[in-house]
Structure 1
């Protein structure tokens, strides 16, 4: 399979992708709404999401489900990060699997964190790690979604500005797709126009009213993002609220298409 095939699977041309992340156990262990790690796929797979962001264990346990639902894409998280909540530069990042293993498992893309609030030594090691993964992804024709983030940091204006800068580093390292927390409509549009790399926007933790989530996603789409990564803002809500919210989000994502 070619890079272009996997890119179009991950980010379709006829709509904005909705990728539901359910890989939180790699960092959070047991989390509300994800007590049974294999449960979300059957629950949400027919609700107009385009795919899921998953752990290696989830991929292995759900092979039969995805064989029956081939329209759904799979993004494999290949790393983890600890001490995220301390925000003191002492966090530790590491790969948990390889690009070759991701290809063997038949997934459509791989995803890595790019946590920048670490020591200078770890920043250099992280850049080397990302570079090695990019080279492997290019060799195996599978996209890397790279997530520049100041992990555990509050969403202040200073943090948003810094994450925008880190997105440029992610681009320079060769990321095929960049995942970033929503920095506002203007900054999202600028990143899309300047970097010319597909941008997907992370929804983050459960917060605010459903209407606020819909509004943020509408602004994300207006700014030119190719995908929305929305999980806890859906599956940690009451079922009827969550289903209505996802339906509204899906309608927004089907209102645009791309010339590629």
Structure 2
């Protein structure tokens, strides 16, 4: 049984990913800023007969909270097989870069980029104790510079420019960390669930959470350490 930590797992794609991975036999820690919300999410799964889950409090913007979560995991399991950096915010829209407020941009980067980086750094010692460790960064198509430059770029993407920039930075972190950790056989990849109907977009997405979680779960179940430093959706590999 593999052990998995998912940040932002009390709702949306994170919660559905936890459900699907637990159903596949993994033990999943549902990370949540608010332990009450996290426990309610874990209890919901347990009520459905999915007992191999537990709630854990972790706020990715609070280094002390991350360290406390690491201590809890260290005491309970001693190692971690998979970290899924899922916690994220969308920020207020529109976010045209020519006029977007610095407060919105900073808030987006604080959670979507710095949060993932510092969570990964703190959890790395636990991952290095695993026989098949992996890190998945939940990104977005709007983080792909290649897709932004395409002639058929979606016209409304500029409404999410600051959010997209935070995901571009997350993708860069994926590539650089993957290269640094090749000697440790730690897989590091980015994945996008696609435009999924969650609170992140006021439930306007075109995919269900079950469909959105599919790409993350597919990547989570890979064990080939050669698959690293790449960007995926549920149909395959995407360009940076």
TM-score norm. by structure 2 comes to: 0.41
TM-score norm. by structure 1 comes to: 0.38
Instruction: Tell which has more relative contact order, 1 or 2 (C-alpha 8 A, sep 6+).
Output: 1
